[in-house]
Chain A
Amino acid sequence: MATAKEELSAVVHELGLDKQNKATIGRLLAHGGLGYAEEGSDGRMRAQVRIPPDELMWDPSVLVMPHEGDLEIEIFNDDGNTHCALFPSNGDNQFIWLPNQSRGTASLNLDGPGYYWFSSPIGNDEGRGLLGAIVVQGDAPPEARLDRPDQPRP
């Protein structure tokens, strides 16, 4: 039976797809809440993500940047197990080891609209649910866009 898109979150929750070891073994990806990065007076964006106890997820698992640029992330591992984080960033991916009850930071640069995955690349943390998305809003700069009238979008 098909489910309307607006009901999806409720059905995912009802089935337990947003929990560990309910409907599936792990947790459906990117179902750990949504948060926004905040822009400081220096133009850099800042955000926090956490790994809550026994949930094997990022909170938030969808982190929204209002535009391209530099992002400072503060990462907390509140879980009773050790994880790590691998973030996308121009220049090189950024890696940090996250022992239980630890706090670290990462500096990222993402230069355009779209979404980028981040994860804990050990064991199968990614498959269990420790896979989140950084969403970068905004548009290509005006000088890069096509010289044509505005076109219809989906």
Chain B
Amino acid sequence: MATEYLDAGQAVGQASLSGVVGSAPPVAQNVTYERILEARSEPQNWLTYYGAYDGQRYSPLDQINTENVKRLSPAWVFQAGTGGMHAGQSTYSFEAAPIVVDGVMYLSGWDGWVWALDARTGQELWRYKHAIPYDVSLCCGNVNRGVAVAKGKVFVVTLNAHVIALDAQTGELVWDKTYGDVRAGESATVAPLVVKNLVIVGSSGGEFGVRGHLDAFDLDTGEHAWRRYMVPKPGEPGSETWPAEGEAWARGGGNCWVTGTYDPELNLLYWGTGNPAPDFDGEVREGDNLYTCCVVAVDPDNGEIRWHYQYNPHDLWDYDSNMENILFELDGRKLLAHFDKNGYFFVLDRTNGELVRVAPFVDRITWGEIDADGKVTPKVYPEKEGEPVHFWPGPAGGKEWTHAAYSPRTGLFYVPVQDVGVEVTRRRREFKESIPYWGAAVVVHSGTREQENMAGSVSAFDPSTGEEVWRWRNELPMCASVLATGGDLVFAGEPTGEFNAFDARTGEHLWHFQCGSGHHSSPTTYSVDGRQYVAVPVGWGAWTEGFIPAMLGAPAGDALFVFALPE
């Protein structure tokens, strides 16, 4: 006899079984390019990834200051948790920089999550979940670094290399474009950057021997505007820096997985590029390997490279140069500052890429030396097959992707510093698409914290001299972005969960709060109804084995903490 089934109905969105409101006020409708250009003139908001196009991660807000920061307390907490099986279950990390527009926060998480939250109360207004393949190739964990907001849309990339536009009021999908090949080992983790009518995104996957690229899409339609590969094909400018024979260029890396900065007067994007592939076996890719480990000045209208500066020619240490190039002015010159994985602090003339100053910013640099003229002299690197070499900084760098900040009030840069070494043994391997392509066995100083020979700091540097002005020492490397404010405060989280405030002028440690999990994200600040808040995503994970293996056992987390002074 046929079974008479009870009608279970139609499956429903999981959000409908939660307290989510379902819609957000239409505040993003009027976020235009012109407003983003003047982002710092509306300090109540954090309109773009770095807070403004210059990448300074500085807010003029000063309600919270050196005098009252000791009273800073949690205002609300948002927790996402996890359900079912997802990619990188042991490596997910909360790395985003919260964007805030007129009282609404837009935030991305790991594994395709995007949320709109009430920035005053933490109430979940809407959510979007992109379905991520469990088997996507991820070198460095299940992460996403944030969203962009403009013209009523929220833009975000997905781990399976899509860029999508969501309706900022409802979270519903507006358009969806694929810009990478997951079968080649590509993925996407970058926070998009909106410039004019374009949304600009870079690819991830440099550890899998892909060919890194930057792409631009039309904000309204998603139509692809341009792609710029960061490794030239034979015959293109820069191809002379790759072997003439073979296909090293086709697997050359140079991915663009960290958001760039932008100078509207010069109409130039400043985008950092990643390491060449294979990371540690340079013999198969003789030459300087342009445009890997560079800052490239890119015309946003067509993707053309106007100039470049290579921080690590023929990199052999996994020293990506993706990290931010912060725009600032000094003595009337238009400059940029960059703290590279190689342990050196560079100041360049951003009109032409000319080196102005270079100085070390971490104590131990043994891989080689860069002199005052920028001449690079490698000293220790994996050269002979099977022979271990040891060098500082390790592949996570003297500073990881997490960002420095610059305060125009103090004229100082504030840097999260990592002082960790590594042992690398060259082990040549055949290239196979989608398989990691490092060319070495890599052991970042491992073992327990007691056994470790590592350190960290938040350090302040004067760009006019390259000298360190103050340093707050930590026994563990610092690997979360720094935030500077008009209250002369510098905020920085620790791997052990403490969220700290320092005096921007002296480095005095003024306040901390234990968040229960390590920090590997970019805190931001904003205000609603005249009350200043500081928001920090907290969730330890990602490629901990690369920056602090001694913290591989630290608690995971999935919370956004938001702090304010008591009302």
Query: Do A121 and B13 form a contact, CB below 8 Å, given A145-B184, A151-B250?
Result: no
Within 8 A of A (CB), among B214-232: 224, 229
Within 8 A of B (CB), among A78-131: 78, 85-119, 121, 126, 131
Interface size class of A (residues with CB under 8 A): 35 or more
User: Is B84 within 8 A of A136, CB to CB?
Assistant: no
Chain B residues contacting A40 (CB-CB under 8 Å) are: none
Query: Do A92 and B5 form a contact, CB below 8 Å, given A86-B83, A117-B85, A148-B247?
Result: no
Instruction: Give the CA-CA distance A76 to B86 in the complex, in Å.
Output: 25
User: Is B133 within 8 A of A114, CB to CB?
Assistant: yes
Nearest A residue to B127 via CB reads: A92
User: Is B182 within 8 A of A112, CB to CB?
Assistant: yes
Q: Select B135's contact among A105, A115, A140, A147, beta carbons within 8 Å.
A: A115
User: Is A147 within 8 A of B233, CB to CB?
Assistant: yes
Nearest A residue to B233 via CB reads: A147
Q: Select A121's contact among B84, B133, B172, B184, beta carbons within 8 Å.
A: B84
User: Is B6 within 8 A of A103, CB to CB?
Assistant: yes
Query: Do A144 and B179 form a contact, CB below 8 Å, given A149-B250, A153-B434, A154-B434?
Result: yes
User: Is B129 within 8 A of A76, CB to CB?
Assistant: no
Query: Do A146 and B181 form a contact, CB below 8 Å, given A91-B172, A101-B3, A114-B160?
Result: yes
Shortest distance from the beta carbon of A3 to any chain B beta carbon, whole Å = 23
Instruction: Give the CA-CA distance A113 to B182 in the complex, in Å.
Output: 8
Nearest A residue to B210 via CB reads: A146
Shortest distance from the beta carbon of A146 to any chain B beta carbon, whole Å = 5
Chain B residues contacting A133 (CB-CB under 8 Å) are: 134
Is residue B128 within 8 Å, beta carbon to beta carbon, of the partner chain? yes
Q: Select B435's contact among A96, A131, A154, beta carbons within 8 Å.
A: A154
User: Is A94 within 8 A of B13, CB to CB?
Assistant: yes
Within 8 A of A (CB), among B1-53: 3-15, 17
Shortest distance from the beta carbon of A94 to any chain B beta carbon, whole Å = 4
User: Is B184 within 8 A of A88, CB to CB?
Assistant: no
Chain A residues contacting B135 (CB-CB under 8 Å) are: 114-115
Instruction: Give the CA-CA distance A140 to B209 in the complex, in Å.
Output: 17
Instruction: Give the CA-CA distance A76 to B7 in the complex, in Å.
Output: 10
User: Is A148 within 8 A of B211, CB to CB?
Assistant: yes
Q: Select A152's contact among B10, B133, B181, B432, beta carbons within 8 Å.
A: B432
Shortest distance from the beta carbon of B114 to any chain A beta carbon, whole Å = 11
Is residue B180 within 8 Å, beta carbon to beta carbon, of the partner chain? yes
Is residue A17 within 8 Å, beta carbon to beta carbon, of the partner chain? no
Q: Select B229's contact among A78, A113, A147, beta carbons within 8 Å.
A: A147
Chain B residues contacting A147 (CB-CB under 8 Å) are: 211, 229, 233
Chain B residues contacting A77 (CB-CB under 8 Å) are: 8
User: Is A102 within 8 A of B211, CB to CB?
Assistant: no
Shortest distance from the beta carbon of A137 to any chain B beta carbon, whole Å = 11
Is residue A14 within 8 Å, beta carbon to beta carbon, of the partner chain? no
Query: Do A95 and B180 form a contact, CB below 8 Å, given A106-B10, A112-B160, A147-B233?
Result: no
Nearest A residue to B130 via CB reads: A90
Q: Select B162's contact among A93, A111, A131, beta carbons within 8 Å.
A: A111
User: Is B8 within 8 A of A86, CB to CB?
Assistant: no
Instruction: Give the CA-CA distance A144 to B162 in the complex, in Å.
Output: 9
Q: Select A140's contact among B6, B85, B131, B178, beta carbons within 8 Å.
A: B178
Chain B residues contacting A97 (CB-CB under 8 Å) are: 8
User: Is A75 within 8 A of B181, CB to CB?
Assistant: no
Chain B residues contacting A118 (CB-CB under 8 Å) are: 84
User: Is B180 within 8 A of A144, CB to CB?
Assistant: yes
Shortest distance from the beta carbon of B239 to any chain A beta carbon, whole Å = 13
User: Is B10 within 8 A of A96, CB to CB?
Assistant: yes
User: Is B8 within 8 A of A92, CB to CB?
Assistant: no
Chain B residues contacting A86 (CB-CB under 8 Å) are: 14, 83-84
Is residue B136 within 8 Å, beta carbon to beta carbon, of the partner chain? yes
User: Is B134 within 8 A of A144, CB to CB?
Assistant: no
Is residue B140 within 8 Å, beta carbon to beta carbon, of the partner chain? no
User: Is A146 within 8 A of B13, CB to CB?
Assistant: no
User: Is A152 within 8 A of B84, CB to CB?
Assistant: no
Chain B residues contacting A148 (CB-CB under 8 Å) are: 211, 247, 250-251
Within 8 A of A (CB), among B125-172: 127-136, 160-162, 172
Q: Select A112's contact among B10, B84, B178, B434, beta carbons within 8 Å.
A: B178
User: Is B83 within 8 A of A143, CB to CB?
Assistant: no
User: Is A121 within 8 A of B83, CB to CB?
Assistant: yes
Is residue B431 within 8 Å, beta carbon to beta carbon, of the partner chain? yes
Chain B residues contacting A136 (CB-CB under 8 Å) are: 133
Shortest distance from the beta carbon of B1 to any chain A beta carbon, whole Å = 12
User: Is A93 within 8 A of B5, CB to CB?
Assistant: no
Instruction: Give the CA-CA distance A97 to B85 in the complex, in Å.
Output: 19
Q: Select A144's contact among B17, B127, B181, B434, beta carbons within 8 Å.
A: B181
Query: Do A94 and B12 form a contact, CB below 8 Å, given A101-B6, A140-B183, A147-B211?
Result: yes
Query: Do A103 and B434 form a contact, CB below 8 Å, given A114-B182, A145-B184?
Result: no
Shortest distance from the beta carbon of A19 to any chain B beta carbon, whole Å = 22
Shortest distance from the beta carbon of B82 to any chain A beta carbon, whole Å = 11
Instruction: Give the CA-CA distance A107 to B5 in the complex, in Å.
Output: 20
Chain A residues contacting B14 (CB-CB under 8 Å) are: 86, 92-95
Nearest A residue to B250 via CB reads: A148
User: Is A113 within 8 A of B183, CB to CB?
Assistant: yes
Chain A residues contacting B435 (CB-CB under 8 Å) are: 154
Is residue B556 within 8 Å, beta carbon to beta carbon, of the partner chain? no
Chain B residues contacting A113 (CB-CB under 8 Å) are: 133, 182-183
Within 8 A of A (CB), among B171-216: 172-173, 176-184, 186, 209-211, 213
Q: Which 4 A-B residue pairs are closest in the complex by CB-CB distance?
A: A114-B133, A104-B8, A106-B11, A92-B13
For the A-B complex with A92-B129, A119-B84 known, give 13 more contacts whose Cβ atoms are closer than 8 Å.
A89-B131, A91-B128, A93-B129, A93-B131, A95-B11, A96-B10, A105-B9, A110-B131, A112-B161, A112-B178, A117-B84, A152-B431, A153-B433
Query: What are 5 sample pairs from A and B whose C-beta atoms fall under 8 A apart?
Result: A105-B11, A119-B85, A126-B84, A144-B181, A146-B184
